[in-house]
Amino acid sequence: MQIPYEVSARPDTGLYNAKVGIWLFLASEVMLFGGLFSSYVFLRIGADFSWPFHELKVLPGFINTMVLIASSVSVVAAWASLKARRYGWYQFNMIFTLLCAVAFMCIKGYEYKGKFTHYSLKFTDGSVISGHPVPEGGKNWGDRIVFEATSVTINLEKSNLEFLDNLRTKSKDGEYSHPETVAVKFKTPTGSEITLDSGWFKKQHREFMDAKSDLRRTITALELQKPSIDKDDDDAATQALKQAEIDRLTKAVTKAGDEWLAAVKDKELPPTMVLTPVDGPITFFVKENHTMNYGKEQLSFREGTSLQGKLVTDAIQFNVDLIDLRPAPAKMDQWKSLHADSLVWRHLPELKERFFAYRDAKVKEFHEHRKKVAEPELDEDCQRDAYRVEFANNDEKFMSHDDAHAYLHDEKHTINVPRSEKRFYSNFSPSLSPYYAIYFLMTGLHGLHVVGGAIVLGWFLLTGRKMYLSNPEHLANRVEVGGLFWHFVDLVWIFLFPLYYLM
């Protein structure tokens, strides 16, 4: 079928059809991104915490802006080359545009990776430190909860043995490692020895579920036999007879349940089964988000299994590269007590005086620049400059780059933060704050647009030769439409860059 007005303009619109289509699409895209930009403003104005400001590294965002601008120039130059019937130039410009798209996504990937390895920890008093947990390995457990289990209670209905991923073996010199096999031998309550692996578990689970279905069928059959009492039509004697029958059947239901429970216990199919490791206590390094709750003698996994034994430690091993002692906006005037009594000094006492000296110098500097601000200590901008210190800051006023490197990487500077002192702990992913949530949402959506645009332009480049030879203007129109989308992607970034990286 021949689609009309692919090349020539439609008389009533004065445009070829694809151009009308792309502009309608771009109008809807304006609404999509417009909605997200207004959400950003809404979140920022309504934030009840110090909005992250100048936290992202500018250079990657700046380079990406350059890359997108260059690609915008090249894609429109590709279109112009086709209009001038210079196919070689068209190819050159399109290849350049696609390389820019690849470069943009690579830089974005580099940025995203950094955010997933960088962590922030908020203490119960509101103080914040950033850095990264010590990688698990050797004698280190990083940010995992260490639990020594003397018995494991598995739930035959709900468990899926996922908890075994957290199992570790301890060598003679006290180093932990992933076990070569997670098929650990356990003793069941009846004394038989089993290997807890998926084969054994699946069989038990299946048998348990079959037994449960049998019970359900029995109970349903008994329930259906129960007569209904009609208080209007049944006389007293009939009602009494019916009630007696109901009572008999109710007892029968209870009895069936009890008998079922006794039977499954005999078959080693109780709903929950306590297993004891044959070779003594076993150690688990548990991710906190895998747990339902835990205490000194017990730990429950979300998947239904629980451990009994001894909590070895729940402290987070952390290396610090930033201290942020800005109070919450509602407690702006309580900064002095927060600074003096911050939980940070429990772990980094040697930095306390240095932090105060740095803070006071920064406050003084701010006051000299902004004489109009009567109480700089209460000013949000001043607090951002003075109460938040990156160890590797460029002027090295807080500490040298070598020291900053040591604090982030040396074992001697590793701190152990008990989870009882922690209010919040996360990497710099969307869960960290609404700022990072909308940052990832918008830059992620924008990145998908870059990928989509690059695929379309790449298609035109790969398949365009034939069309160029038969109808070059048709190809030019296609590239113009693809280019219009590409420019839209560029102009969204022109707003994203200052909003997220600079303001």
Partner 1 sequence: MSHSPEHTPAIPGDHGHDDHPIDLAKTVRLYLFIGGCLIFGTIITWAVAYYVDLGDKHLNIALGLLIATVKVSLVCLIFMHLNHERGLIYKVLLFSMIFFAAMMFLFILAQMDPILNHFGNQP
Binding site for partner 1 (CB under 8 A): 7-9, 13-16, 19-20, 23-24, 27, 30-31, 34-35, 38, 41-42, 45-46, 54, 58, 62, 65-66, 69-70, 72-73, 76-77, 80-81, 83-87, 89, 369-370, 372, 381, 468-470, 472-473, 476-477, 483-484, 487-488, 490-491, 494-495, 497-498, 502-503
Which residues, 6+ apart, have CB-to-CB distance to 447 below 8 Å? 104, 105, 108
Helix (H) or strand (E) holding 360: helix 352-369
Closer residue to partner 1 (CB): 371 or 412 = 371
Min CB(157)–partner 1 separation in Å:
45
Strand 167-170 relative to strand 184-187, pairing: unpaired
Question: Quick one: CA torsion of 413, 417, 421, 426, rounded to 10 degrees?
Answer: 100
> Which residues are within 8 A (CB) of 353 and not within 5 positions of it... i.e. 6 or more apart?
none
Secondary structure of residue 144 in the 3-state scheme: coil
Angle at 19 between CA 15 and CA 22, to 5 degrees: 150
Task: Output the smallest distance, CB 76 to partner 1, in A.
Answer: 5
The length of the chain is 503
For residue 458, the minimal CB distance to partner 1 (Å) is 20
Q: How far is the CB of 413 from partner 1 (least distance, A)?
A: 30
Half-sphere exposure of 238 (CA within 13 A, CB side): 9
Angstrom distance (rounded) from CA 98 to CA 220: 66
Nearer to partner 1, 77 or 457 (CB): 77
- Between the CA atoms of 202, 208, 214 and 216, what dihedral angle is there, to the nearest 10 degrees? -110
Rounded to a whole number of angstroms, the minimum distance from the CB of residue 97 to partner 1 is: 12
What's 149's DSSP letter?
Answer: E
Q: Which is nearer to partner 1, 40 or 141 (CB)?
A: 40
By beta-carbon proximity to partner 1, the closer residue of 74 and 342 is 74
H-assigned helices in 420-471: 434-470
Smallest distance, Å, CB 65 to partner 1?
5
Distance of CA 381 to the CA centre of its chain: 29
- Give least dist CB 438 to partner 1, A: 14
Query: What single DSSP character describes residue 305?
Result: -
Please report how close the Cβ of residue 83 comes to partner 1 at its closest, in angstroms. Answer: 4
Nearer to partner 1, 93 or 305 (CB): 93
For the chain, what is the largest distance between any 2 Cα atoms, rounded to a whole number of angstroms? Answer: 104
In the block, residue with structure tokens 């029958």: 245
- Nearer to partner 1 by Cβ, of 273 and 492: the residue is 492
Instruction: Tell me how far, at minimum, the Cβ of 8 lies from partner 1, in Å.
Output: 5
Helix (H) or strand (E) run with residue 382 in it:
helix 380-386
**222 vs 363, which CB is nearer to partner 1?**
363
Q: What is the DSSP letter of 321?
A: E
Residue with tokens 């990497």: 427
Q: Are strands 145-155 and 176-177 parallel, antiparallel or unpaired?
A: unpaired
Comparing CA positions, the residue from 18, 48, 54 lying closest to residue 390 is 54
Residue 397 C-beta: closest distance to partner 1, Å: 17
Q: Which is nearer to partner 1, 30 or 256 (CB)?
A: 30
Minimum CB distance to partner 1 smaller for 377 or for 490 = 490
Q: Is 334 in a helix, a strand, or coil?
A: helix
Distance in Å, CB of 268 to partner 1, minimum: 58
| Pair 309, 184: CB distance under 8 Å | no
Two structure tokens written together for 46: 């309504």
Nearer to partner 1, 12 or 193 (CB): 12
Specify the residue, 7 or 95, whose C-beta has the smaller distance to partner 1.
Answer: 7
